[in-house]
């Protein structure tokens, strides 16, 4: 991404995978609130006096983790189209040609569309450089793929159209890219774009973020991890997690894992809501703002030092007006703000669908919450994602220079499973697929 200011301070059949048994750690906050009117997460924080009234007429996204209607992003076009959404089916892991993801995205032109998958495995886009969504009102629904889901490797995935949803996808960029400038795993340059339950790893530049006119973008229940440090970037060492690079409005980054990124966990020039993110092993910069004139509401964040963490770094740095509540540093006492941050005592911006009192997990429980709900398929993770969450969030592991340091690109065997989306009830069938891969409790 363009950086105007330098922050370098230093093919077989497979059976349907079963949904996991309901367990406390995999339930969303809303599920917990519906258990007898109160719920408990992790260490025992209770939420009482709130009952969710399900609205079956509204498709609100996730069954586990934060939901679409808790963001600023306009996803109403999905409900408006309803079961009349155009369906484009991906039937091959080849990046181009008949049945490919490229063809499905091209066929979406001019009509609200959901892209679904009858195959699972790896789509290598190295020869494309960039796989781009260019049509508005497109939903890329990775939850419809059979295990291990869809993993995009060798290039960047970019949304260049307004009103786009990308869910349950993995983007593992790595250093095997045609050009270093194609080294962003997942990014948006348009308005009302939402990434939900996506995993982005091994970026050469940023691993994830926004650029251009990206108002009301949201990244919820995502993983942004292991941004490459001393890799192939022409400017030298990087390891930069997430950057919102323009002064846009109403960014949401919620319920997400940031792990082993030296900087930008996240960084933003946009007004932002940062809620229930777990940051493990940041380097010298954690959450920072480039001196921008922006407003931030931060709640229920947990930061844990790792092998590469500078113990002197404040959590919030370099400008901005910040409201912060319940911020936990789990291992090393540090300043919450540096001296350039303006502190305020009430929230600056909050989506109308998000209640900071009832929808936010206490910071002491955020690690458990995020590691149970974030990522592309938390109920049955693909192996590379499972290795990260289960084995690499500790001091034996740290910031890496190449994906080869953690086993390299995955070699998942291709899988195939036909989808039955005919006969009405399209949104209900898509919701069922989400429940399977997220492990959440089905809606009534």
Q: What digits encode the pLDDT tens for the residues 294-343?
A: 999 999 999 999 999 998 899 999 999 999 999 998 766 789 999 999 99
Confidence grade of residue 63 (pLDDT, cut at 50, 70, 90): low
pLDDT of residue 179: 76
Lowest-pLDDT range of 142-151, 175-184, 306-315, 357-366 = 175-184
In the predicted model, what is the mean pLDDT of the chain?
85
Beta pairing, strands 257-259 & 321-329: unpaired
Q: Is the CB of residue 251 less than 8 Å from the CB of residue 222?
A: no
Give pLDDT tens digits for 156-202: 999 999 999 999 999 999 987 777 766 778 999 999 999 999 999 99
Confidence grade of residue 359 (pLDDT, cut at 50, 70, 90): very high
Lowest-pLDDT range of 189-193, 425-429, 439-443 = 439-443
Confidence grade of residue 239 (pLDDT, cut at 50, 70, 90): confident
E runs forming strands in 330-378: 342-343
Q: Is the CB of residue 252 less than 8 Å from the CB of residue 222?
A: no
Q: Report cis status (omega within 30 of 0) of the bond before 56.
A: no
174 φ, ψ (degrees, to nearest 5) = 80, 175
CA atoms within 13 A on the CB side of 215: 3
Sole residue written with tokens 């009534």? 444
Please classify residue 380 by burial: count the beta carbons closer than 10 Å to its beta carbon, then call 0-12 exposed, 13-18 middle and 19+ buried: middle
Could you tell me the CA-to-CA distances from 93 to 8, 204, 380 in Å, in that order? 38, 24, 20
Q: Is the CB of residue 272 less than 8 Å from the CB of residue 299?
A: no
Beta pairing, strands 138-141 & 278-280: unpaired
Q: Is the CB of residue 88 less than 8 Å from the CB of residue 104?
A: yes
Q: Is the CB of residue 123 less than 8 Å from the CB of residue 104?
A: no
- The percentage of the chain sitting over the pLDDT mark of 90, rounded to a whole number, equals 72
Structure tokens at 54: 């399900």
Please classify residue 439 by burial: count the beta carbons closer than 10 Å to its beta carbon, then call 0-12 exposed, 13-18 middle and 19+ buried: buried
Sole residue written with tokens 């009405």? 424
Which pTM was predicted?
A: 0.87
pLDDT of residue 337: 94
Q: Taking the mean position of all CA atoms in its chain, how far away is CA 228?
A: 18
Please classify residue 408 by burial: count the beta carbons closer than 10 Å to its beta carbon, then call 0-12 exposed, 13-18 middle and 19+ buried: middle
Task: Please indicate whether residue 187 or residue 35 has the higher confidence score (pLDDT).
Answer: 187
CA atoms within 13 A on the CB side of 382: 32
DSSP 8-state code for residue 263 = B
What does the alpha-carbon distance between residue 386 and residue 363 come to, in Å, rounded to a whole number?
Answer: 23
Structure tokens at 186: 């997942």
pLDDT of residue 6: 45
């Amino acid at each position: 991404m363009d950086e105007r200011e330098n922050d370098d301070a230093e093919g077989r059949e497979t059976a349907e995978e079963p949904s996991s048994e309901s367990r406390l750690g995999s339930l969303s906050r809303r599920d917990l609130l519906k258990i007898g009117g109160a719920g408990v997460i992790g260490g025992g924080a209770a939420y009482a006096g709130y009952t969710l009234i399900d609205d079956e007429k509204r498709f609100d996204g996730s069954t586990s983790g934060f939901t679409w209607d808790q963001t600023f992003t306009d996803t109403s076009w999905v409900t408006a189209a309803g079961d009349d959404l155009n369906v484009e089916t991906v039937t091959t892991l080849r990046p181009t040609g008949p049945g490919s993801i490229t063809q499905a995205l091209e066929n979406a032109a001019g009509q609200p569309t959901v892209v679904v998958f009858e195959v699972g495995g790896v789509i290598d886009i190295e020869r494309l450089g960039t796989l781009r969504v260019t049509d508005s009102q497109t939903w890329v629904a990775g939850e419809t793929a059979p295990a291990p889901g869809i993993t995009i490797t060798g290039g960047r995935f970019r949304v260049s159209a307004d009103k786009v949803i990308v869910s349950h996808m993995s983007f593992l960029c790595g250093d095997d890219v045609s050009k270093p400038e194609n080294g962003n795993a997942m990014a948006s340059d348009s308005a009302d774009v939402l990434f939900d339950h996506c995993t982005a790893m091994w970026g050469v530049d940023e691993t994830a973020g926004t650029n251009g006119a990206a108002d009301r973008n949201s990244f919820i229940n995502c993983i942004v991890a292991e941004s490459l440090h001393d890799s192939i970037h022409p400017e030298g060492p990087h390891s930069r997690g997430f950057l919102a690079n323009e002064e846009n409005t109403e960014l949401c980054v919620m319920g997400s894992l940031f792990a082993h990124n030296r900087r930008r966990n996240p960084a933003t020039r946009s007004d932002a809501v940062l809620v229930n993110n777990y940051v493990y092993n940041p380097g010298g910069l954690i959450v920072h703002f480039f001196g921008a004139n922006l407003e931030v509401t931060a709640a229920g964040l947990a930061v844990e030092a790792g092998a590469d963490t500078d113990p002197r770094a404040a959590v919030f740095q370099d400008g901005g007006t910040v409201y912060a509540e319940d911020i936990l540093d789990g291992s090393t006492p540090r300043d919450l703000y540096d001296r350039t941050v303006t502190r305020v005592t009430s929230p600056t911006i909050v989506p109308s669908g998000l209640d900071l009192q009832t929808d936010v997990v206490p910071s002491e429980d955020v690690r458990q919450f995020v590691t149970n709900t974030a990522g592309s398929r938390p109920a049955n993770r693909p192996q590379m994602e499972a290795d990260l969450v289960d084995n690499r969030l500790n001091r034996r592991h740290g910031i890496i220079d190449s994906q080869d340091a953690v086993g390299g690109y995955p070699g998942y065997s291709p899988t195939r499973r036909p989808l039955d989306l005919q006969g009405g009830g399209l949104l209900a069938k898509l919701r069922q697929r989400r429940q399977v891969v997220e492990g959440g409790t089905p809606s009534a």
